[in-house]
Amino acid sequence: MRLAGFLLFVVGVTVASCFAARAVTPEPAVKGALPTPGERLGAWWDAAGIPFSGGMLLVVMGGVLARRKPKAGSAKTTGSAEEAPGPVAVLAQITEELASLPADAVPANAVGIRDRLEDILERDVPAFLAHRLELIDRMGLGKFAEMISLFASMERNAARAWSALTDEVLDEVPQCLERAKNAGSSARELLERGLGVEKASA
Amino acid sequence: MSSYREVTAGAVVLGIVLGMLMTAAFVYIGLKLGFGLPGSTVSAIVGFALLRGVGRKAFKVVGCGSIVENNINQTIASGVNTASAGVVFTFPALLLLGEDYSFPTILLAAIAGSFMGIVIIVPLRKQLIEIERLKFPTGVAVATILKSPGAGVQKAKLLGYGFAFAASLTLATNERFHLIPETIPIGGWIKDLLGVGDTGGAALALLGTALSLSMANIGAGLLSGRGGLPFALGGILAWWIVGPFVVSQGWAPAGLAGDALVGTVYGTMLRPVGIGVLIGGALAGVVAAFPAIRGAISSLAAASKLAKMSGGLSEELSPRVLGVGLAGSFVALLVVALVGGAGSGLSSATAVTVAVAGSVWIAVAGLIVAQATGATDISPLSGLALIAVTLILAITSGNVLLAVTIGIAVCIATNQCSDMMTDLKTGHLIGGIPRRQQIVQFSVAWVGPAIAIGTVMLLWSGGEGGINGFGPKSVACAEKLPGCLPAPQASVLEGMVKGVLSGDAPVDKYVSGAFIGAGLTLFPIGGLGVLFGLAMYLPFEITLGYGIGCTITIIIEKLKGQRYVSDVIVPVAAGLIVGEALTALTLTLITLATGGGGGGH
């Protein structure tokens, strides 16, 4: 059904665009006067209005069909051992990794912490964000926005900790890590609640 | 209290000085050569040299030039410099049209636009950067530069390779050397090979198909990956299906062939529809994303309240500050409309309508530009400025002075929107605090317009009798002297205004395009209307190059995984963007220093 919607949508956009580009030469009501915007629109509508409307109808039908949600349970949530991990599993991995960072012993572990933060930011964050559309679909935009705001706060604080470690300003790092952990945990809670996932399954 | 240096006197002063220098220089370059240059990459690199290098070594300031401090420097410098592109496109047109303008009114409009752009776009940070995850390729490139001290040797090398490749190609395609053409006419070659004539749909499709060798464009595509693909597909639809169909139906003027056919179909059909799609897509996008935007704005208020209760600081500018900024900017625009219209007998009601329409359009255009820049790094500034001018001309029954004055505000505001979002994206990637970036950009929003307008007036008064210092009618240009400043962008706007006044505005295409843009938001991919509209608005050579970049990333991600993209593609793409920008800037300065550019026009 989604494929049919996509095809209708593409055909509709194509038809509507072709007729939107239709050139017209409006005849002003008063001879010698400049054509008004209304006269220009009217001339275009007379020449291309019906096929354009047909194209728009296909766009609407295709868009509605393409937006239909997949059957419940068809999307993966946690992921199994054989397949790529789902968003809940990835976020769980991120929060556990952040929790395991030795924030109280930064000077002795600076390089190690920075490498692990880099792994989170460059491997795990993109892996989680790859599920963005699926999550919007399943959680709804409002709940997704709430969750992703916290996720972004986690991301930004982890990045700040990475920058501070690079700049060797170590007193900045523990508070950034603390904020990243808190934001990550809150995002995880919202995600699990939004998807109706039992905590244990993560 | 952490010792991490972020907003410091050094970063602020350096940012303002760099921004002022770039604004004056880029206004001059814009009048001379007709294009603008990006300021973020330049200021990030200069910031490293001065804050990290000189600050730490010569002044012995511990921790000077930290990643987040340099981010503040580049935020301020690029924020000040945003005015140069907005002013150089609009204000000189007013002078060329011979309008009797008032300097304080123009300055007030420019400053109002500058503040309004920031306050309008800040509440959408969460929506564009966190929820929609727009790429903002230049923002990523600047973040890559800022992070380079800790990124490791391998990434630094990749950044260098990208830089070197883009720099070499920019040199090779530059008119001084012209070793290879800047644009490869792929379709033209195929046309000759197949023996296709210069007329008809097939000729249009083939002649329109070219590839720009801009590495910054391909780099932006590389950074966008799958998300940018609809942009490339929109270009294919426009140039391989819509354009040829229009020609095959006989809707293009008869007798056109070759480049004239391509130029007419593009300029009078595809481009206006593209502007309409952009507008409809952006407006419907706001409606579709309303739950998230409402959530983001209420979270601003909640975060501000929570921070106040806990004695800490919110991560965002408070809604109250934004509200005051918005109200102040609106009042300033209203004063501009009242004062600007007074001379021509404009009623107060019409002046209020002008201020409201200008403000609403700034919001719409700002959102369009932020989304377009976020997705592709390309800003449809001229088209949006034209709509602003058309709108105000319609409201005021042809008051050119007021229309272009509001156009100045719109251009500066929309540039502020894209620059603020690009800087906030950089900040997001390096761990900057959004509120601090927003405050510094807001604090210096008045500097750029003052410098840009002052520079234009200075250059204008350099002509005989204190006028005509630039433009085709200036003595230097008429006599083809090296000091000629042809002001090509302003001449384009001057032509557009004359076109609108003669009833040529393609309102039908704007309206029908807006319906298509709104329809595109029904599809479950965010920002489709803006991407598709931008694809119709631009020549295919840009869209194709960008699409090639996207496709390369998609293939590499499939073969090697996302981590490989982060580790290899991102630094290379950042190098391509920075390499082209800096080489182009250097070549431009050399051209100006040696008396080239514009003199022969």
Q: Is residue B59 part of a domain?
A: yes
**Alpha carbon B75 to chain centroid, angstroms:** 15
Q: What is the ipTM of this complex?
A: 0.82
Phi-psi region of B256 (alpha: psi -120 to 50; beta: other; left: phi over 0): beta
From chain B, pick out residues whose CB is under 8 angstroms from the CB of A35.
503
In a domain, B118, yes or no: yes
- Alpha carbon distance B31, B278 (integer Å): 28
The percent of residues above 90 in pLDDT, for chain B, comes to: 44
What pLDDT, on a 0 to 100 scale, did the predictor assign at position B297? 66
**Chain B stretch 424-463, residues whose beta carbon is closer than 8 A to a beta carbon of chain A:** 428-433
B231 belongs to a structural domain: no
Inter-chain contact B246–A18, Cβ cutoff 8 Å?
A: yes
Of B93-107, B400-414, B463-477, B530-544, the range with the lowest mean pLDDT is B463-477
- Which residue is it, tokens 């709804």? A140
Distance CA B132, CA B128 (A): 5
Assigned domain for B196 exists? no
Task: Provide the 3-class DSSP secondary structure of residue B214.
Answer: coil
How many other C-beta atoms lie within 10 A of the C-beta of residue A31?
6
Q: How confident is the model at residue B583 (pLDDT cuts 50, 70, 90)?
A: confident
Round to whole Å and give the CA distance between B522 and A10: 12
**Inter-chain CB pairs, A–B, below 8 Å:** 202
Residue B548: name the closest of B576, B517, B528 by CA.
Answer: B576
Residues of A in contact with B128 (CB under 8 A): none
B474 and B463 Cβ atoms separated by less than 8 Å? yes
pLDDT score at B549: 93
How much is the pLDDT for A199? 57
Would you call B515 and A56 a contact, using CB atoms and an 8 Å cutoff?
Answer: yes
Q: Does B269 touch chain A (CB under 8 A)?
A: yes
Write down the pLDDT at residue B341.
84
Written as six digits, the tokens of A84 are 């790529």
- B227 and B375 in contact (C-beta within 8 Å)? yes
Is the pLDDT score of B154 beyond 60?
yes
How many beta carbons lie within 10 A of that of residue B479, not counting itself? 10
| Cβ contact A157–B246 (<8 Å) | no
Nearest CB to B66 within list A23, A152, A167:
A167
In tens, the pLDDT along B553-575 reads 999 989 988 788 888 898 899 88
Among A27-31, B142-146, B337-341, B352-356, whose mean pLDDT is lowest? A27-31
Percent of the residues in chain B that have a pLDDT greater than 70, as a whole number: 94
Q: Cα-atom radius of gyration of chain A, to the nearest Å?
A: 26
Residue B90 forms part of a structural domain: yes
- Average pLDDT value for chain B: 87
* pLDDT tens per residue, range A64-121: 888 776 655 444 555 544 456 789 999 999 999 999 998 777 788 888 999 999 999 9
The domain tally of chain B equals: 1
Residue B232 has pLDDT above 60, yes or no: yes
Q: Which two tokens stand for residue B266?
A: 């593009």
pLDDT of residue A198: 65
Q: Is residue B566 part of a domain?
A: yes
What pLDDT, in 10s, does the model give residues B381-423? 777 887 888 889 889 988 999 999 999 999 999 999 999 999 9
Q: Is the pLDDT of residue B366 over 60?
A: yes
Q: What is the pLDDT of residue B179?
A: 87
> What are the tens digits of pLDDT across the range B173-188?
887 787 888 889 999 9
Higher pLDDT, B99 or B302: B99
* Cβ–Cβ under 8 Å, residues B41 and B162: no
Q: What is the mean pLDDT of chain A?
A: 86
Digit-coded pLDDT (tens) for A14-43: 999 999 999 888 877 777 777 888 888 999
Contact yes or no for B557/A130 (Cβ under 8 A):
no
Q: Is position B192 within any domain?
A: no
For residue B429, give its domain range.
9-181+252-593
Tens digits of per-residue pLDDT, B269-312? 998 999 889 888 888 877 777 766 666 666 666 666 666 665 55
User: Across the interface, do B507 and A41 touch by the CB < 8 Å criterion?
Assistant: yes
Of the two residues A39 and B74, the one the predictor is more confident about is B74
pLDDT tens digits along B192-203: 999 988 888 999
Instruction: Let me know if residue B589 belongs to a domain.
Output: yes
pLDDT at site A201 = 45
Quote the distance between the C-alpha of residue B201 and its chain's center: 32
